[in-house]
Amino acid sequence: ALPISALPAVWPSGSFRGLRARGGVEVDVAWNSGKASAALLKASFDGSINVVPPKGQTVASVSSRGKLIAVQPSADGSALVQAKRGQVYDVRFGP
């Protein structure tokens, strides 16, 4: 799972780039008003990436190369993305 839940309260808006998540996913995340707004995920493997949004938020959409892709949503707001090595996935978060 790729949790995006450690947004610092003292930084209500901001971003980070190039974080390496477990399993070899490179992650960029942006947030505004204390809520995650978007993430870019670059997969280094073919397989599933479970995106877990911050508490109280959901994965609103996932796209790659400008096209929306189908994801498997979960009751907890997370989404399972079927990734391909080298692809970049643009994840948008909802309230």
Q: Each residue of 47-91: pLDDT tens digit?
A: 999 998 888 888 999 999 999 998 877 877 789 999 999 999 999
State the Cα–Cα distance between residues 54 and 38, nearest whole angstrom. Answer: 11
pLDDT, position 34: 82
**Chain position carrying tokens 């070899």:** 24
The predicted model scores a pTM of 0.84
**Span 34-53, average pLDDT:** 92
Strands 47-52 and 2-3: parallel
Pick from 10, 61, 12, 62: nearest CA to 35: 12
List C-alpha distances in Å: 73 to 16, 30, 44, 52: 25, 21, 22, 10
Mean pLDDT for the chain? Answer: 87
